[in-house]
Amino acid sequence: MPLRQSGSSSGSGSAESPRYGAKVRALRRRESLNQVQLAEKLGISPSYLNLIENNRRPLPANLLIRLAQLFNVDVSSFATDEDTRLVADLTEAFADPMFEERDLTSVDVREMASASPVAARAVLSLYRAYQAARSSADDLSSRLTDGEEMAGVDRSHLPSEEVGDMVQRHSNHFPELEAAAEELAAKAKLTSDDLYTGLVRFVEKQLGIQVQIGRWGSERGVLRRYDPERKVLVLSELLPTRSRTFQLAHQIGLVAYGRTLDQIAQDPRLTTDESRALSKVSLANYFAGAVLMPYGAFIQAAKEERYDIDVLGRRFRVGFEQVCHRLTTLRRPGAEGVPFHMIRIDVAGNISKRFSASGIRFARFSGACPRWNVFAAFLTPGMIRIQVSRMPDGLMYFCLARTIQKDSGGYHSQHPVQAIGLGCQVQYAKEMVYSDGIDLTNPDTCIPVGVTCRLCERTDCEQRALPSIKVPLSVDTNVRGVSLYAPVGRWRSP
């Protein structure tokens, strides 16, 4: 049966109301306290605490503040955004056809994520392992058919997925790296007009590193190489100036602020050495972006220029993707920018980068909705495409997309093309120059968009590739609609 929708669950309150029972229980167990001991510290009865932990009573604001003070945590750590992502990931996993015979409801999924988030994440890990095994089996079958040997690959813990989750948990904002970038700017006396030269001067005088420009013929395929023993950093001659500056700042982050990167990379949910190494690369990229686009100057320019990406790129001497990524990091308390989401895909639809501060959900285990304008961007390379979209939950988003081309290795090398999608909820769209002349109030102009076919109940979509788990499949062999999975009306005689 499809995953049924349900609005409430008996004994646990409204399905939409925030429930912090699992968080309170986890904090209590972290401090090795029993319910009687914690209740005494909070000034409430053990039975009342038991009801809160089992989501049978809401957590009042005064107790929320007292808990935050008692356990020395930020009140924002009780926010439900991560729980919402967990529910979305579980829902997508249970959309797999293997679960169709189970009578699961949407409340079942929410209850699982709320009552035991650790167990819910374990289920997701099992599902990823299942997907990896299925993929490996398909790959093995294909290779055996072709007479090739197959090397075993464990795909159950993809480093890119774990690092992406870590970035999402931090809301793609790392105050430690922002502070490190500002410290470097002060030490090196960096100016926007002399950034590359200033960084070279800093690494040579303060770090004892010699910077060299390498010939492509001798370092083919390498854009940056650092020899820690000889203290020599080689940057490829094929890198444009902005990319040389970025790679130089990246290496400074690894060398001068490696301890800060290591501390962040000790996230317990990074389960492998590969994940931790990849996280350091991602964090060093973040640091480099903060060096090239200092927080204060960048957010001021972004607001003054109404988030005009081309203007910002030229002012800070960076590329389109670098500006878009930096725009998603502007979450400093008291100095926030527009909460953006960002996605990067290739022509095959593979998602290589994703982050969401806008609330939009991206597919984790299946293909993304082809109606997103980020896919259409490949039809008009280099042009910005605008889209006002509406998700199945009714939320409207304002999105822009454009293709980018990576630095190439000369005439005989490939010129990979990808597309960047950047967007926000429609109420923020007026802050962006791209919304000028667009009617943002008319829902009829919105493009209906989903997360993935299995989770979208829109059955009248001509691009539907799979049936929805929310609508029972009904096929009439005598009638063909706009899609194989789209229901059609009954024929009436004239």
Would you say residue 49 has pLDDT above 60?
yes
pLDDT tens for residues 193-247? 889 999 999 999 999 999 999 987 777 778 899 999 999 999 999 898 999 999 9
CA nearest neighbour of 233 among 216, 217, 249: 249
Mind listing the domains of the chain with CATH numbers? 175-292 (1.10.10.2910), 335-455 (3.30.450), 457-494 (no CATH)
Q: Say if residues 400 and 434 touch (Cβ distance below 8 Å).
A: yes
pLDDT band at 72 (very low <50, low <70, confident <90, very high): confident
Q: Say if residues 262 and 143 touch (Cβ distance below 8 Å).
A: no
Check residues 86 and 43 and name the one with the higher pLDDT: 43
Q: Side-chain half-sphere of 115: how many Cα atoms within 13 Å?
A: 14
Q: Which pLDDT belongs to residue 157?
A: 59
Q: What is the mean pLDDT of residues 464-489?
A: 70
Task: State how beta strands 396-405 and 385-390 pair.
Answer: antiparallel
pLDDT tens for residues 411-426? 667 778 999 999 999 9
Q: Say if residues 12 and 19 touch (Cβ distance below 8 Å).
A: yes
Q: Which of 30-44, 265-279, 323-337, 395-409 has the highest mean pLDDT?
A: 323-337
Q: Which pLDDT belongs to residue 409?
A: 65
User: By mean pLDDT, which of 38-42, 267-271, 458-462 is the weakest?
Assistant: 458-462
Structure tokens at 478: 């005598």
Q: Say if residues 199 and 209 touch (Cβ distance below 8 Å).
A: no
Q: Which pLDDT belongs to residue 179?
A: 97
Q: Which pLDDT belongs to residue 321?
A: 95
Q: Which pLDDT belongs to residue 148?
A: 44
pLDDT tens for residues 247-261? 999 999 999 999 999
Sorted by sequence, the CB contacts under 8 Å of residue 2 that are 6+ apart come out as 100, 468, 469, 470, 471, 472
How far, rounded to the nearest angstrom, does the alpha carbon of residue 289 sit from its chain's CA centroid?
A: 17
Q: Which pLDDT belongs to residue 87?
A: 77
How far, rounded to the nearest angstrom, does the alpha carbon of residue 395 sit from its chain's CA centroid?
A: 19
pLDDT band at 92 (very low <50, low <70, confident <90, very high): confident
Q: Say if residues 196 and 248 touch (Cβ distance below 8 Å).
A: yes
- Please give the Cα distance from 474 to 458 (Å, whole number): 14
Check residues 396 and 114 and name the one with the higher pLDDT: 396
Q: Which pLDDT belongs to residue 348?
A: 85
What would you report as the CA-atom Rg of the chain, rounded to the nearest whole angstrom?
Answer: 25
Tell me the average pLDDT of the chain: 82
Instruction: Please provide the size of the chain in residues.
Output: 494
What percent of the chain is modeled with pLDDT above 70? 82
Q: Which pLDDT belongs to residue 325?
A: 97
Q: Which pLDDT belongs to residue 147?
A: 42
Q: Which pLDDT belongs to residue 258?
A: 95
Q: Which pLDDT belongs to residue 34?
A: 92
pLDDT tens for residues 8-30? 443 444 334 456 777 788 788 87
Q: Which pLDDT belongs to residue 104?
A: 72
Q: What is the mean pLDDT of residues 387-415?
A: 83
Q: Which pLDDT belongs to residue 493?
A: 45
Q: Say if residues 156 and 132 touch (Cβ distance below 8 Å).
A: yes
pLDDT band at 180 (very low <50, low <70, confident <90, very high): very high
- Please give the Cα distance from 368 to 375 (Å, whole number): 10
pLDDT band at 334 (very low <50, low <70, confident <90, very high): very high
